[in-house]
Amino acid sequence: MPVQRACTHACELRYLDAGGNFIDTADVYCAGRSEEIIGEELKRRGKRHQVLVSTKFSVSTNPNDPNAGGNGRKHLRASLEASLQRLQTDYIDVYWVHVWDTVTPVEEVMASLSALVDEGKVLAIGFSNVPAWYATKAQMLASWHHLAPVTALQLEYSLVERNIEHEFVPMMQELDIALMPWSPLANGFLTGKYASDGGKPGGAGRLEVFAGMPGVHRIVDNDWRVLGVLERVATELGRSPAAVALNWIANRSRVATTLVGVSSVEQLERNLEAMTFVIPPELSAQLEQVSRPVPPHPYGLFSAEHLKAVSRSAFTVERMP
Domains (range + CATH), the chain: 3-311 (3.20.20.100)
| 167 confidence band (pLDDT: 50, 70, 90) | very high
Lowest-confidence segment of 155-164, 198-207, 273-282 by average pLDDT: 198-207
Lowest-confidence segment of 18-22, 35-39, 150-154, 235-239 by average pLDDT: 18-22
Q: Is 158 in contact with 187 (CB distance < 8 Å)?
A: no
Give pTM, 2 decimals.
0.89
pLDDT averaged over the chain?
Answer: 89
Strand order in the sheet with 178-182: 178-182, 150-156, 122-128, 92-97, 52-57, 22-24, 3-4, 260-261
Among 57, 157, 171, 67, CA closest to 113: 57
**CB atoms closer than 10 angstroms to residue 278:** 10
Residue 20, pLDDT score: 86
Q: Is the pLDDT of residue 202 over 60?
A: no
Q: Is the pLDDT of residue 99 over 70?
A: yes
Q: Is the pLDDT of residue 311 over 50?
A: yes
Per the DSSP assignment, residues forming a β-bridge with 52 are 22
Q: Is the pLDDT of residue 214 over 90?
A: no
Residue 7, pLDDT score: 47
Query: What is the residue type of 19?
Result: G
- The DSSP 8-state label assigned to residue 227 in this structure reads H
The one catalytic residue among 29, 91, 95, 157: 29
Q: How far apart are the first and last CA of the chain?
A: 26
Lowest-confidence segment of 12-16, 217-221, 310-314 by average pLDDT: 310-314
| 61 confidence band (pLDDT: 50, 70, 90) | confident
Of 121-125, 191-195, 291-295, 305-309, the range with the highest mean pLDDT is 121-125
Residue 6, pLDDT score: 44
- Segment 251-256 mean pLDDT: 96
| 319 confidence band (pLDDT: 50, 70, 90) | low
- Dihedral, CA of residue 93, residue 119, residue 85 and residue 30, to nearest 10: -40
Residue 207, pLDDT score: 57
> Does 91 qualify as catalytic in the annotation?
no
Lowest-confidence segment of 6-15, 44-53, 236-245 by average pLDDT: 6-15
Q: What is the pLDDT of residues 223-233, one digit of tens each?
A: 999 999 999 99
Q: Which residue has the higher pLDDT, 55 or 294?
A: 55
Residue 47, pLDDT score: 85
Residue 17, pLDDT score: 84
What 3 state SS string does 116-166 have?
A: HHHHCCEEEEEEECCCHHHHHHHHHHHHHHCCCCEEEEEEECECCECCHHH
Question: pLDDT over 90 for what percent of the chain?
Answer: 65
Q: Is the pLDDT of residue 222 over 60?
A: yes
Render the burial of 199-214: b for 16+ CB within 10 Å, e for the rest: eebeeeebbeeeeeee
Per the DSSP assignment, residues forming a β-bridge with 179 are 153, 255
- What is the C-alpha radius of gyration for the chain, rounded to an integer number of angstroms? 21
Q: Is the pLDDT of residue 18 over 90?
A: no
Q: Is 41 in contact with 9 (CB distance < 8 Å)?
A: yes
Residue 86 C-beta-side C-alpha neighbours within 13 Å:
24
Lowest-confidence segment of 20-24, 112-116, 281-285, 307-311 by average pLDDT: 307-311
Residue 66, pLDDT score: 87
Among 203, 190, 281, 262, CA closest to 231: 190
| 5 confidence band (pLDDT: 50, 70, 90) | very low
Residue 201, pLDDT score: 59
Query: Rounded to an integer, what distance in angstroms lies between the CA atom of residue 87 and that of residue 83?
Result: 6
